[in-house]
Structure 1
Amino acid sequence: MEDETNLAEGAEGTEPATTGTEPAAEGAGDGSGEPDYKALYERAVADSRKWERRSKANLAAAKGARKSVEDEVAELKAQLRRMEDERAHAELVSGVASAKGVPAELLHGDDEDELNASADALLAFARSMEPGTPRDKGGAPAGGAVVTTEQISKMKSPLARVQAYARMHAGQ
């Protein structure tokens, strides 16, 4: 009869290799030397069930590992998409900032139109702060005429003369 081995050595839960001519498989004590086929069959069925259970457990573990790997791949793909979107947005902000001549840190918006609108608003604010506007909170005459030194010297109030000199030297 052929030797039957259960599993290669070193595998988890292995038992020593068995052959079909072991004493347990011998005749039921009758000394005839004939193998007990019923015992061999029951042992083969028990071994088959044991390996089937192990196979199902290994399959479940493999499916769990595959699911884990698939989840990790999906998470990494999502992270890559976010990084690509952030890089594209940074390039867009940089392009608008250099085209409009404003600092990129001050721009807000998700698309090019919003960024351009933000840059335009920033430029409008910067223009409103140019030296052409009065800095004395409304004390200077609106679009007033240039005052000459002769006109200042003719002023009777010393306070008015000092203020006029200050405006003249401030560039207003």
Structure 2
Amino acid sequence: MMTQPLPIAQLGHSVLRQIAAPVPHGQDAWVRSLVNELLVTLQASNGVGIAAPQVGHSYRVVVVASRPNARYPHAPQIQPIALINPEVVRHSDDVVRDWEGCLSVPGVRGLVPRYTSVEVEYTTVEGDRVTQEFHDFVARIFQHEFDHLNGLVFVDRVETQHDLIDEQEYFTRVLAQQSVSPAQ
């Protein structure tokens, strides 16, 4: 039976404001099934990352799967990574503000400050404990998804309400400026 995309909890749903529970046994069949459902949902929705609370499961599971798509045309391509019970070990001192969107907050983008690199420890679906460092856009994705595990959404991180814009405005003005910028 083919897995169907799951419905995505929208801003205002209580699951998005809960602290997600640790996964007791990351190799359990239900965890593998959840990771598969997250991957399918992410692919169908043109996301680059997703957290279990976004599909109504308040567990500490995230998937980071950056790839160029309609929502993030300049995203780097990486192999999807499922992180079970992730923990931030350390982070850079450098912080950069950049634009984020969220599958749970459709139609809105925000200018969010994030660390430029994070070192993360997590368990894989095979049960291995791994330490990995993420940089730049992929570090941003991880921090965004990690926030979901702690009951936060990106709109909580913007420094001023003026840093929130309509997604169409983002595509027509901000992304268009980035596409012609020589700094890219």
TM-score scaled by length of structure 1? 0.16
Between structures 1 and 2, the one with greater strand share = 2
Between structures 1 and 2, the one with greater helix share = 1
Relative contact order (alpha carbons < 8 A, sep ≥ 6): 1 or 2 greater?
A: 2
Higher Cα radius of gyration: 1
